[in-house]
Amino acid sequence: MNVLKRLPRAIFSPIPISRTRAIGISERLAALSSLSSSLEYLHQHRNLKPGGLNDWDIMRQTPESKMPAIQKLTDLVGGRRTTMALHASRVACSLAMLAPGNSRWRAAGDLYLGLTTTVLQARHRYGTDGSDQVATQVQAITGLARLSRSPEVQDALMWYLAIQANMSYSLSGLAKLAGTKWRDGSALPGVLRTRTYGFERAYRLTQRYPRASKITQHAVLAMECLFPVVYLAGGRMTRPMIGAAGSFHVVNAFVMGLGRFMTAFPAMHPMVAYTSAPKTFPVVAGRDDRMVKTALMLLAAGVTAAGVAATQRRAHALAGWPNSRTVTTRYGNTLSYDVGGQDIADRPVLVFNHGLASTTEHFAWMIERLAFDIGQPVLSYARAGYGPSRRLRDAPYSVQESVDDLEDLIRGALPDDRQVVLVGHSLGAELNRRVAQKLGDRVAGVVYLDPTHPAQLIRSDRQRRGSELFTTSLDELARWTRLGTGALMTRPNWVDHLPSSYRDKAFALYTDARLWQAASREWTAVRAELEAYEGDLAPVRAPGLVVAAQVTVDMDPDQLLMYHDLVRSHQEAGSHGDVAVVEQGGHDTILTDARHARTVADLIMGFVEEHCTPSASASGEPAGSVPEKVEESK
C-alpha cells in the first residue's frame, strides 16, 4: 500500500538537478549524436565520391551562402580527404566528451563539435536532419556555459535551450494539429508506408488496430502541444512529459530509423528539468530566472514588429502599381489591371492571366520584353482575391466566376472592337481557354504557358498523386499565413530572379495571407472539376500556341500528350495550332528566369505577328521593330 501511495508522487514530481549535472548530461547526449552522425558518414563514404549523392562538384553549384568568405570555407572542407579527416576527428572528440569530468576544457570539445557540424552542413546536404541542428545548439550552449564563470550567464544560456525545447515540441504539435491527417488518424499509417521512414510490420499493426493507432497519434499530439505544462503546478508534470517525449524518440529510432533523434532531442531535457524545478529544492535555489522575463519581452517585441511588418506588406500588396486601374465585374468583384506598350490599332492586346498561387509580377520579364522593347500592347491583371484585386462576392466560389470576371475585365477595360490574344500560365491558361468560347471573334489567339489541362488528374498518374500533397500544403499555407506567419516565410529564389523593381512587390504578395486563401479557394473548386471531367475539349476558333517547359514534359510525358490535345482543339476549328518546348525550362522558370522568359516572349511575338495580325505586313511596320515610345506598364 505504501508503494502505491508513493508511486503517484514519484511520477508526478519535479526533477531536481544541479546546474553542473544538467550541463554534463546534455553535452554527453549531444556528443552521442555527433558520434553517431560522423560514424554514419564515414561508413557511407562512397557518397562523397564523384557521382555520389554528396559529390562536392555538384553540391558546390548551389552554395549555402552568397558570402564569398563562407563559400571559401566550405570549399576548404569540401575535399573528400578533408571531410573524412574532420569526421575522424569528430569521432575522437565525441568519445572524449563521453568521459567523466567537468573541466572547463570540455567547452573546447563542445564548440568544436558544434562548429564542425555547421561547416560540414553544405558538404552533406543530403543526409543531415533536425537532430544535427539540435545537437549543434546544445553543444554551442553547453560550450559557452562552461566557458563562463558567471552562474547568471550559465542560467540564461540554459533557459535559452529549455525555451528552444518547449518551442520545438509545442510548435511541432501545433503544426500537426493544423493538418487533417493527424486529427483523423491517417498520418501514422501514411508515414509507415513510405520508403524512407516506413516499417511494414508497424504499418500492419496500424491496420489491424486502427483505434489504437489513432489513440497513439492523438497522444503524440497531446504530448507535443502540451509540453510547456512542465512549468505548471510546481513542475509536477516534468517527469511524465519528459518520459513521454523520450519514449517517443526511442520508438522513432527503432521504427522509423531516426537513431540520432534518440539522443539529440533528449539532450535538451536536462535543461528543461533544471529550469522547471521549484527553487525550494536546494540544488536550484540560486537559479537566475530573469531570462524568462527577457524572453517574454523579446517575444512581445517580435510579435509587435511582425504585426507592423505584416501591415506594411499588406498595404504594399493592396496598393497596386502607380498607374493601376480597376474594373468592377458582374459579381461586384474589383479587378486591378495594368496596361503597357504602344497603342497600335491593328495589333491585338496581349492579356496575361497568372497561375494558381501566383502573381502578375511573374510575367515581369515577358512584359518588359514585349511592352518595353517591342511596343506590343499588353494588359495584366490579378484575379479576385489576389493582390489589389478584391473578391466581394458572398456566394461560394466557382471556376466560372473567374471566367466571367475575365470576360467583364476585357469588355470593360478595352474598346469593343479591340481584339485580344489571351496569354495564360498554368491555371490561368485553362481560364483563358474557357473565356475564349464566350468572347468569340474578339479572340485573335490563345497562348498556353505550361497549361493546366481539364483532364490532367484523370490522364496523369503523377498529377493525380501530387494533387493530394498540393492540397494539403496549400490548405496549411492558407491557414498559417492567416495567423500572421507570413513574416517568418523565407524569400524564395524566384523573387530575386525577377527584375529588381518587381522583387519587393512580389515578395509582399507572396507572404500575404490573401494570396494563399485565394489559391486554396480556387484549387478546391478546380480540383473538383478536374476529378469529374469527362468528354473532349470544345473547338476553339482562334490560333493556338502551347509553350511547354521541358522539365514538365520530361518528368511527365502524359502532359505533352495533353498539350497536343489542346492544340487539336484549335486545329479542329480550322485554326492554327502548335506546341513549342522551352529547353531546360521549368513550370515556373519559363516565367521567372530571364533567359527562358525572353525565349517565351519571342515565341509569343512570332505567333502574334504570323497568326494573329494579318494586317501587320500591310501597315508598313517591319515585324519585331522597336517603337520610339513605349508606355510603362508598371
pLDDT grade for 119, boundaries at 50, 70 and 90: confident
**Mean pLDDT highest for which of 85-89, 123-127, 194-198?**
85-89
User: Can you tell me the distance from the alpha carbon of 547 to that of 607, in angstroms, rounded to the nearest whole number?
Assistant: 11
Q: How far apart are CA 58 and CA 47, in angstroms?
A: 12
Q: d(Cα 218, Cα 238) in Å, to the nearest integer?
A: 20
Question: Does residue 78 carry a pLDDT above 80?
Answer: no
- C-alpha grid cell, residue 105: 576544457
**pLDDT confidence of residue 23:** 94
Residue 2 reports pLDDT greater than 70: no
Q: What is the bridge-based pairing of β-strands 334-340 and 325-328? A: antiparallel
- For residue 619, what pLDDT is reported? 41
Phi and psi at residue 79, to the nearest 5°: -65, 145
Cβ–Cβ < 8 Å for 436, 509? no
Report whether 272 contacts 238 (CB < 8 A): yes
Distance of CA 132 to CAs 6, 36, 428, Å? 39, 10, 42
pLDDT tens track for 399-447: 999 999 999 999 999 998 899 999 999 999 999 999 999 999 999 999 9
Cα–Cα separations (whole angstroms), residue 260 to 29, 253, 286: 10, 7, 34
Q: Residue written as cell 569521432?
A: 91
In the structure, what pLDDT confidence band is assigned to residue 614 with cuts at 50, 70 and 90?
low
Return the residue matching grid coordinates 484585386. 389
C-alpha pair distances (Å), 264 with each of 40, 429, 493? 15, 48, 31
Task: Among 169-178, 202-211, 346-355, 622-631, name the most confident range.
Answer: 346-355
Model pLDDT, residue 477: 87
* Beta carbons within 8 Å of 391's beta carbon, 6+ residues apart: 333, 384, 385, 397, 518
Average pLDDT score, the chain = 87
Give 61's pLDDT tier (boundaries 50, 70, 90). Answer: low
- The answer to whether the beta carbons of residues 503 and 210 sit under 8 Å apart is no
- DSSP codes joined into one string, 60-81: TTS-S-S-HHHHHHHHHTTSHH
DSSP character for 390? B
Percent of the chain residues past pLDDT 90, beyond the cut: 54
Band of the pLDDT at 616, cuts 50, 70, 90? Answer: very low
Q: Give me the torsion for CA of 101, 102, 108, 110, rounded to 10°.
A: 90
**Interval 21-33 mean pLDDT:** 94
Residue of 462, 516, 454 whose CA lies nearest to 486: 516
Query: Regarding predicted confidence, which is higher, 121 or 434?
Result: 434
The answer to whether residues 390 and 368 touch, using CB atoms and an 8 Å cutoff, is no
Are 35 and 95 a contacting pair, CB within 8 Å?
Answer: yes
CA distance 53 to 62: 14
pLDDT at 233 over 50: yes
pLDDT beyond 90 at 310: no
Residue 423 near residue 545, CB atoms below 8 Å: no
DSSP-assigned states of every residue in 512-540: -HHHHHHHHHHHHHHHHHHHT--S-PPP-
Q: Which is more confident, 381 or 194?
A: 381
Q: What is the pLDDT of residue 75?
A: 73
Q: Is residue 627 over pLDDT 70?
A: no
| Cβ neighbours around 503 below 10 Å, total | 17
Distances (CA, A) of 193 to 62, 206, 216, 217, 261: 32, 11, 17, 16, 20
Residue 453 CB neighbour total at 10 angstroms: 25
Q: Which residue has the higher pLDDT, 315 or 426?
A: 426
- Helical spans, DSSP H, in 277-350: 290-319
- Number of Cβ within a 10 Å radius of residue 603: 18
Q: Summarize pLDDT for 476-518 with one digit per residue, the tens.
A: 888 888 877 787 788 999 999 999 999 999 999 999 999 999 9
DSSP for 557-579?
HHHHHHHHHHHHHHHTTT--EEE
Of 59 and 406, which is predicted with more confidence?
A: 406
Distance CA(310)–CA(304), nearest Å, equals: 10
CA nearest 411: which of 438, 434, 371? Answer: 438
* Band of pLDDT at residue 6, cut at 50, 70 and 90: low
Contact in structure between 382 and 406 (CB atoms under 8 Å): no
Q: Which residue has the cell 497596386?
A: 320
- Please give the single-letter amino acid code of residue 435: V
C-alpha grid cell, residue 425: 500560365
Question: Would the pTM of this model clear 0.85, i.e. be above it?
Answer: no
Q: Which three cell numbers stand for residue 272?
A: 528543461
Distance CA 574, CA 611 (A): 13
Q: What is the pLDDT of residues 325-343, one digit of tens each?
A: 999 999 999 999 999 998 8
- Give the DSSP per-residue string, 150-181: -HHHHHHHHHHHHHHHHHHHHHHHHHHHHSHH
Cell numbers 485573335: residue: 444
* Cβ atoms < 10 Å from Cβ of 3: 7
d(CA 63, CA 589): 19
Answer with the residue of higher pLDDT: 611 or 315: 611
For strands 443-449 and 544-549, give the pairing: parallel
Percent of the chain clearing pLDDT 70 (strictly above) = 92
Give the pLDDT confidence score for residue 338 in this predicted structure: 95
Residue 292 has pLDDT above 80, yes or no: yes
Grid coordinates given for 610: 504570323
- 518-543 pLDDT per residue, tens: 999 999 999 999 999 988 899 999 99
pLDDT tens column, 445-457: 999 999 999 999 9
pLDDT confidence tier of residue 559, bands split at 50, 70 and 90? very high
- Amino acid making up residue 369: R
CB contact set of 449 (below 8 Å; sequence gap of 6+): 423, 424, 425, 426, 428, 429, 547, 590, 591, 600
Query: For residue 362, is pLDDT > 70?
Result: yes
pLDDT of residue 615: 57
